[in-house]
Structure 1
Amino acid sequence: MLFVFLVAHAGLFASGTALAAAPTVAAESSPQARIEQASRAIEAVQRAVNDADAPETLKTLAERASQAQRDAEASVVALQPELNQLDARIEQLGPAPEAGEEPDIARQRKLLDQQRSQIDADIKRGKLLAEEAKQANESIEKTRAQQFGEQLGRKVGSPLSPALWREFAEHLPDDYNRFHSLYRQASTALLKAVGKEGWGVPLLGASLALLMLFPLRIWLRHLGRRYAASERAPAGRLRRTGLAVWLLLVGTLLPGLAAKVLVTSLQAIDAIAPRLESVANTFVIATFVAAFIGAVAACLLVPSRPTWRLLDIDDVAAARLRRFAWGAASLTWLTMLLREVNRAARTSAVGTVTLDGLIALTYVVLIMSMLATLAGLHRRRAAEAARLEQEDTNSGRTPRAPRSGWLIVARLGGYLSISAALVATLLGYLNFAMFVAQQMVWGSVIVLATTLLTRFADDFALWLLAPDSAVGRMLRLSTGLSASRLEQAGVLLSATSRLALVMLGVTAFVAPFGNVSALYNWLERLSAGIKIGGSVLTPGSIFSAVLVLALGLALMQVVQRWLVDTYLPKTELDIGARNSISTVAHYLGIVLAALWALAALGIGFEKVALLASALSVGIGFGLQAITQNFVSGLILLAERPVKIGDWIKIGDQEGDIRRISVRSTEIQVGDRSTLIVPNSELITKTIRNMTMANALGRIQVQFSVPLGTNVGQLRSLLLGIYAANESVLIDPAPSFFIDSISGGQVAVNSFAYVSSARNVYGTRSDVLFALLEQSAAAGIALVTPTDIHLVRDPEQ
């Protein structure tokens, strides 16, 4: 749509002459030749700028200055590598010795010095020329802005002034004669060309134009509607927005191309008089513009198909606004053509003023009619909102707030614009009135077109990268991306497209205020790169860096998946070692991908090291805890004092290690909750690892028996219980000890071992169950702590 926007701007706000093609400097074989060409172009611009007063001339000069600036800057960029190569060769020769050197080396040194001096002078000259061209362009733009302001503020006769109409009547016969002379030139050129070449080419061009304008255009519109209604069309909003964009393209391009074919057929036989060439070009541009305005309204309003309508308006407003849109398109087409014919006929100034006044008043009437339609729509929407609010209040629901904000903004802006245009017209500021009225129409068209295109870009991006779409399924199967990642990519693509379209719309809207090429020159300078320190960041390098980073991360994921799923399971490493290797490989891959992306940006490793050293102080103070945990995590993964699957005790908490990352460690405690411990805690504090190095679990059973108990029988009984339990290990063998004899009791202490500390609690419980049962059966009394009760004698 960039072509449509630029054509529309040229037609609506140009003085009517054809757009002057920006002269381009021919590509020369060497940068020095391009510098010389840029120098001549700048000198020509500086000589011509003092005598230039027409806006078209100033625009052409500004474009020439911009082109000269681009050529000079490109030459400087092309010469810089040659200068660097010469510096490297001179550096290899080293300093000239005081005692003299060999003649061959001396001649080579002299030649290199001469070449370097010449290239250095060319680079400096190119930079100077680029700065001169920039200053010349800025000066021209200031002049153009000043002329534009003076033109808008120029006061002429008011349409209500009788003196204006008397003067118009006085010049009317002369203006009529000028129009008649222009008509005679047009008819003479046409009859002469037809007499020489015949009617074949013009009739063929007219036939093709009619074919494109009616049968082909109608068939393509019908084809688009039929496809949008079929099952092959994408589901969702894309079906409607895609059809609207198709109708916009068909409705804009075919009428404009038909006009172009007709004019080309006449130009092929030289049937257009020289003074009418600009009129013919304006005819093509005006047709494109009018078709664009009508197509935007048609694809958004759709009066006959409310279900396909993209604007939130009712049928009555849609039908009326559609008629007003066609009226605006016709008025724009007629205005552009009449003003250009008036300029080609070289009519009097009062004739031009009168024409501009009538056009401005016509625009005012048209915009007032549109505002009346919007006012009626607003009233109907307000009445509907009041009815819904009453129903919600009666039913006890929360009242629904009406959404008519865009109507209020549109009406307010329309009233302000139309008031300014009407007052300016009546006071005689016709240029300002024409500008305001045309800018109101053009701004509305730009807003509607931008809204449509942004909706389409949003729908298309989300549909293209949807997880269930054909492209989405292919990406998921080929790259392993998750559905959420695809949706994120779709949202980013949508945001980028919407931003580009909004910038394009803003460019088209502000084009009447100045030179459009100034905006594009800024974009070209931005594309040339932004210098940050010693590096130049360009959009291409940024795109390459993002692409390299994405490829690096994808490659890292493939390598990590191969390690985890294919290679590491074939090794004899335990699960903790596998996790350590895969985690280190993961973060190492991220670091390598980041360094690769920085290299694609033009930031070398030495600059990264310099940046890291500059940030080390800030990292040491501001990110001390994060850095400490990060380094501790690397130590844990490398030294492995604890690993995944270990049972550790830290403080009063104990549990199994489930995951070790570079910042924290996740421990699953007994109630199945997860304890997240910073890695620095595992490095700096005392940790009990109860399963490290395949540690055994030890069972300790302590109890007391009366002094007269057969201790040998008790020893055999307890050791037999140990031997009968499958979880108790034979080696190391269970043991039985008498801990102490005191207070008429024998304190017994015994130990046994199991294969893991995790089995201690359950095995100890089984041993105690068996001890209670077998000691009771053998008549061995187990002594419990003595309870002493003081009983008071009631007789005392």
Structure 2
Amino acid sequence: MPFLTRFLTLLAVVLCLVTGTVQAQETTLESAVPSFDRWEGIAREAENAIDQNSGTDETLMAMRNRIAEFRTAFDNARSINSARIRTVREQLAALGPPPEGENAPAEPPDVAAQRDALNEELSRLQVPVQRAETEFVRADSLIGQIDTILRDRQAQQLLTVTPSPLNPAYWQPALADFTTAVAGLRNETPNAANARTWSALRDNLPVVAALFVLGLILILRGRFWAEMIVRSLQSHGARGFGIWRFVVSLLRIFLPAAGLVALAFAVISSEVLGPKGENILLIISLLGGIMLGVRWVSERIFSRDDDEALLLLSQKKRKEARFHIGMITVMIIITELISQILKTGESAPVTLSVLEFPWLVISSLMLYRIGVLLRGYSEPSSATDGTLTEVRTSTLGRVVRGLGTGAVVIGCVSPVLLAAGYFQAVDALMPPYIMTLVLLGLVMVLQRFFADLYGALTGQGEAARETLMAVLFGLVLLLLVLPLLALVWGARVTDLTELWQAFGRGFAVGETRISPVDFLTFAVIFAIGYVLTRLVQSALRGNVLPKTKIDIGGQNAIVSGLGYIGIFLAALAAITGAGIDLSSLAIVAGALSVGIGFGLQNIVSNFVSGIILLIERPISEGDWIEVGGQMGYVRDISVRSTRIETFDRTDVIVPNADLVSGTVTNFTRGNTVGRLIVPVGVAYGTDTRRIDAILREIAEDQPMVLTTPPPNVLFMNFGADALEFEIRCFLRDVNWMMLVKNDINHAIAERFREEGIEIPFAQRDLWLRNPEVLRTRDDGAGSKGAERQGEPTANDRPRADDLDDPDSGRDAATGDEIA
């Protein structure tokens, strides 16, 4: 397929899809039941052509289009009488099941007559639906078979071998065919001496002159004007300058392309060319616009400015890439012109391959060089010292290097295939790959533009290029370009429309068919219900509930419960509005229930426990609780778990089942009053009554301590080291427990120091067993030497079992006096 034909197919794909939509809408306005007699003749003709594999590609495509129209009509006919059929079935269900069995009572005559009438009407209504369903399957099968035949023929064409263009025997005939075609174009031109031609030229001279001058001005000054606009915007500090540079760069190709079109129409208006010459002229202007477009993409990808280049290679490599891309576009224009000129006359099949061979070889070499540049691409990343180091590997880098590898392979293989005569294979390989590179480059350019536009709207500037929105823009653009890539690589428009129609028909679940319209209806209804639920929750939380006497925990429970109910109702309304029948999912629901019983029981348990917590409200947000050894404030209660913030400012996620089935201590439930206990110890011999009065006075001086009930001081125990007292008091807010305890301890220490009251430390009485081992013994020189040095000998050192001797007055290990 020539390059121009591929490009025109891409331009026409959107129009084809729109036309297909309009035709589908018009078909729905036709008769609900199609003509089965007319369809039968077309179906039999198609079946014979398929069985014999006869007919040209154009004949099969025309036959396929007629079958597709009938298939659409059959698809629409499957839904006729649906409302009436549903009503009749509901009426039969209202009558109840007919009596069965020999001993069953007879059905009343009027009920039986009504049942028979309804069954007869149901059968009559279902006849066209069942026939349409059967013929729809038949038409769909015929279309699939025709597509298979066309794809097989297309695959066979790729393996077609023409004589090698390297054979000199074909050079002279090829040049002769080309010369003949050019002569045919020249002979088609009207005679300049023809008075009628001069008269037409004289009449159209103002229009011709105006178009000619306009075309020259746009071609010669268009790029200069665009650059002048850029400099003007830059000097005035225009906001979103990257966006303006993008728009102005479009003018740099739009103005010269418009100039080419103006020149072409100027020549056509002069009527000095024949129909074939005018067609060639229009093709030249179109090819010029394509070349400018490809050049624009290359200048955006391999820009001269480092801040605008999308692939940040070195300046030398970017310049080389732009040169190779420009050369490829020139070669494509030359080969397309040769193809269009040869179409105007009669030529041998080998002529086209011989004349296009050198230009295609040059294109393959240029593609090879571009592949080498792309294979060496690596994204730069900033080092700690501010320099650029090429160490980062990303998805973009891998894709670019992969495309470079593909370009190298195709650039090496194409000349070999051309020399061997596989011209069709190269035509199906190299031009599509070049167009793929251009389309992917266009995606990168548009992604950068939308990211800059988003940055200008949000105030993020160039930082928006690294946000998630830029990635989403790229994904959407890739999805939009996928049909174009499919067309580039040989897919037919009918293949895409077939996929689109299959997508539009949806898929069947039981007796219910779910289509994209159903999904859209479901999403819209659910979104409306969800937004309304959130609005009601916001109104309750901000305006209604604060004016009531309900505590904050109850308010949160009401708002959360209303949210769950609202989402459930929104989902139910969306399912009903979309017409999705859930009865067919009963088997699936039964299987899911088994799975819930085994694998999801913990999740379901936590969900039910969360509902119980919201209803019973044993704990609320803001409560100080202790559960499972964790103590802190409740910050959030969801349907699965509860989040507790500890005093260390860490979040602890507790499953709701633990809160319902376990032991939970709630320090602030109902009110914030709580008791504080402060233990105090004094030395033996201290006046206990005096201690009682001092401690009571300290507790009463605390502003957070309640006077009713008053604080109390208890003499708890005669401890091993001290006389043990406790201050017991109730606080207005138990959340201040630690601060109050801190203040009381400080006050106790200061008051005891002023009063001379001793706070004892731990004491122990040690008793030594066998004290005679501590007596001095004369056990030799070593002992005497040790005695002279004032050190105990080995015999003088006590054993562990001697430390309990009651006769000793000192600790053998420390030498301290023992009480």
Change (3 A) 1:586 1:95: closer
Corresponding residue of 2:427: 438
Given the alignment of the two structures, is residue 670 of structure 1 paired with residue 647 of structure 2, yes or no?
yes
Cα offset for 1:697? 2.8
May I ask how many residue pairs the two structures share in their alignment? Answer: 729
Corresponding residue of 1:509: 489
Matched position secondary structure for 1:694: coil
- Contact 1:576 1:643 (8 Å CA) reproduced: yes
Correspondence 1:54-133 to 2 at 5 A: 54-88=56-90, 100-101=109-110, 116-133=122-139
Cα offset for 1:685? 1.8
Corresponding residue of 1:135: 141
Corresponding residue of 1:418: 415
TM-score between the two structures when normalised by the length of structure 2: 0.71
Instruction: Give the whole-Å Cα distance in 2 for the aligned partners of 1:706 and 1:407.
Output: 89
Matched position secondary structure for 1:752: strand
Alignment-mate amino acid for residue 326 of structure 1: V
Alignment-mate amino acid for residue 328 of structure 1: I
Matched position secondary structure for 1:667: strand
Given the alignment of the two structures, is residue 634 of structure 1 paired with residue 611 of structure 2, yes or no?
yes
Cα deviation code 1:764-784 (max 9, x no counterpart): 555555566667777888887
Change (3 A) 1:657 1:165: closer
Of 426, 435, 451 in structure 1, the residue corresponding to residue 440 of structure 2 is 451
- In structure 2, stretches of 5+ residues that fail to align are 13-18, 99-105, 776-807, 809-819
Of 520, 529, 535 in structure 1, the residue corresponding to residue 506 of structure 2 is 529
Cα offset for 1:642? 1.9
Instruction: Give the whole-Å Cα distance in 2 for the aligned partners of 1:253 and 1:224.
Output: 14
Change (3 A) 1:207 1:91: farther
Of 558, 561, 567 in structure 1, the residue corresponding to residue 538 of structure 2 is 561
Instruction: Give the whole-Å Cα distance in 2 for the aligned partners of 1:264 and 1:240.
Output: 36
Corresponding residue of 1:331: 335
Correspondence 1:675-694 to 2 at 5 A: 675-694=652-671
Change (3 A) 1:185 1:57: farther
Given the alignment of the two structures, is residue 492 of structure 1 paired with residue 492 of structure 2, yes or no?
no
Q: Which moved more, 1:287-296 or 1:179-188?
A: 179-188
Change (3 A) 1:732 1:47: same
Instruction: Give the whole-Å Cα distance in 2 for the aligned partners of 1:7 and 1:723.
Output: 93
Change (3 A) 1:488 1:592: farther
Of 345, 348, 354 in structure 2, the residue corresponding to residue 352 of structure 1 is 348
Matched position secondary structure for 2:79: helix
Corresponding residue of 1:541: 518
Instruction: Give the whole-Å Cα distance in 1 for the aligned partners of 2:472 and 2:373.
Output: 39
Cα offset for 1:302? 4.6
Given the alignment of the two structures, is residue 578 of structure 1 paired with residue 555 of structure 2, yes or no?
yes
Change (3 A) 1:135 1:756: closer
Instruction: Give the whole-Å Cα distance in 1 for the aligned partners of 2:40 and 2:205.
Output: 49
Instruction: Give the whole-Å Cα distance in 2 for the aligned partners of 1:636 and 1:675.
Output: 17
Instruction: Give the whole-Å Cα distance in 1 for the aligned partners of 2:285 and 2:510.
Output: 47
Cα offset for 1:416? 0.6
Instruction: Give the whole-Å Cα distance in 2 for the aligned partners of 1:655 and 1:292.
Output: 71
Instruction: Give the whole-Å Cα distance in 1 for the aligned partners of 2:485 and 2:447.
Output: 16
- Contact 2:368 2:409 (8 Å CA) reproduced: no
Corresponding residue of 1:427: none
Change (3 A) 1:247 1:36: farther
Give percent identity, aligned residues only. Answer: 21
Cα offset for 1:651? 4.4
- Contact 2:375 2:404 (8 Å CA) reproduced: no
Cα offset for 1:413? 0.7
Corresponding residue of 1:477: none
TM-score between the two structures when normalised by the length of structure 1: 0.73
Cα offset for 1:419? 0.9
- Contact 1:528 1:538 (8 Å CA) reproduced: yes
Q: Which moved more, 1:516-525 or 1:786-795?
A: 786-795
Cα offset for 1:283? 5.0
Matched position secondary structure for 2:631: strand
Instruction: Give the whole-Å Cα distance in 1 for the aligned partners of 2:724 and 2:10.
Output: 108
Correspondence 1:194-273 to 2 at 5 A: 215=217, 230=233, 235=240
Cα deviation code 1:42-73 (max 9, x no counterpart): 45655777696332222222222222222222
- Contact 1:580 1:638 (8 Å CA) reproduced: yes
Instruction: Give the whole-Å Cα distance in 2 for the aligned partners of 1:397 and 1:460.
Output: 25
Instruction: Give the whole-Å Cα distance in 2 for the aligned partners of 1:201 and 1:61.
Output: 48
Corresponding residue of 1:429: none
Instruction: Give the whole-Å Cα distance in 2 for the aligned partners of 1:696 and 1:713.
Output: 29
Cα deviation code 1:239-280 (max 9, x no counterpart): 5665666666777788679879988998xxxx98xxx7xx69
Cα deviation code 1:278-303 (max 9, x no counterpart): x6997588457634542333213459
Instruction: Give the whole-Å Cα distance in 2 for the aligned partners of 1:358 and 1:580.
Output: 83
The structure with the greater share of residues assigned to helix is 1
Change (3 A) 1:315 1:695: closer
Cα offset for 1:335? 0.6
Structure showing greater relative contact order (alpha-carbon pairs closer than 8 Å, 6 or more residues apart): 1
Alignment-mate amino acid for residue 412 of structure 2: Y
Corresponding residue of 1:727: 704
Instruction: Give the whole-Å Cα distance in 1 for the aligned partners of 2:183 and 2:443.
Output: 48
- Contact 1:241 1:455 (8 Å CA) reproduced: no
- Contact 1:646 1:656 (8 Å CA) reproduced: yes
